[in-house]
Amino acid sequence: MNRMAAPEARGNRHTSDIVRTASAGPPMRDLTRRTVLCAGVAGVLLPALPVPLRAASEPPGQAILERTAAETLPSFTLPELGGRDVALSAQAGRVVLVHFFATWCEPCREELPALSRLATDHPQDVTILAVDVGEVDLRVRRFFEGLPVPFTVALDRDRAVTRQWGISALPSTVILDRALRPRWRAAGDVAWDAPAARAVIAELLSSSSNPVPGAAAPEPSPSSGGLTQ
């Protein structure tokens, strides 16, 4: 079986298993042991994670989307894999998933097909901005030559954006509303095909408080063609 194929069981999870509303605990406290392993490989991220771990037997795709208490996060402009610069501010008017990953991270690789399907299902109103953390350009380029995706891949070469956004494990995703305000986040690989995750996106797309008046939705800027499995 192709390792990149999304597990069939991911779409059957209950809403409460994937989505969690704001609570007294710190955001991003839900990590799988696989995610923690990614945080330690190659010294890319901080070796110490001030959060409890989930059970080692938990299957992939079990990271929980949590409402975030952050009101704003720093904007950024990063070079994309195609050679141009991509500015977060240019995405106003769309729902944006800022997805931090690395090619050496197994859960990151396994999450790509579902992210690609999400991008394909919402080409006009959802932007997926995948931010590669601290890798050499050539390695990232070769990886996506063999596994093209329908969304932009940006390069955080010095990990400055990763630090500014408080990312402590890979993969991690922050979901912004149409006004680029952080609304949800997850540490670990999310089952993006699951109804609960899709409901979070639909809620942000339909909310009348999200759109930025006069903001034009930018054209998608894929790094390469559609994902093949």
Q: What is the pLDDT of residue 70?
A: 82
Q: For the chain, what is the domain count?
A: 1
List, for residues 18-74, the tens digit of each pLDDT value: 565 443 333 333 334 454 446 544 444 433 333 322 322 234 566 889 999 888 999
Residue 93 lies in a domain: yes
Per-residue pLDDT tens for 16-30? 455 654 433 333 333
- Any residues with CB less than 8 A from the CB of 201 and at least 6 apart, and which? 95, 118, 122, 126, 175
Query: Is 215 within a domain?
Result: no
70 domain-assigned: yes
Residues of the chain by 3-state class (helix, strand, coil), percent to 5? 30, 20, 50
CATH code: domain of residue 190: 3.40.30.10
Using left for φ > 0, alpha for ψ between -120 and 50, and beta otherwise, residue 28 falls in left
Tens digits of per-residue pLDDT, 177-189? Answer: 999 999 999 999 9
Enclosing domain of residue 154? 14-206
Predicted confidence band of residue 168 (pLDDT cuts 50, 70, 90): very high
* 147, 226 Cβ separation under 8 angstroms: no
The verdict on residue 7 lying in a domain is: no
> Per-residue pLDDT tens for 86-129?
999 999 999 999 999 999 999 999 999 999 999 999 999 999 99
Residue 3 lies in a domain: no
Q: Indicate whether 134 belongs to any domain.
A: yes
In a domain? residue 216: no
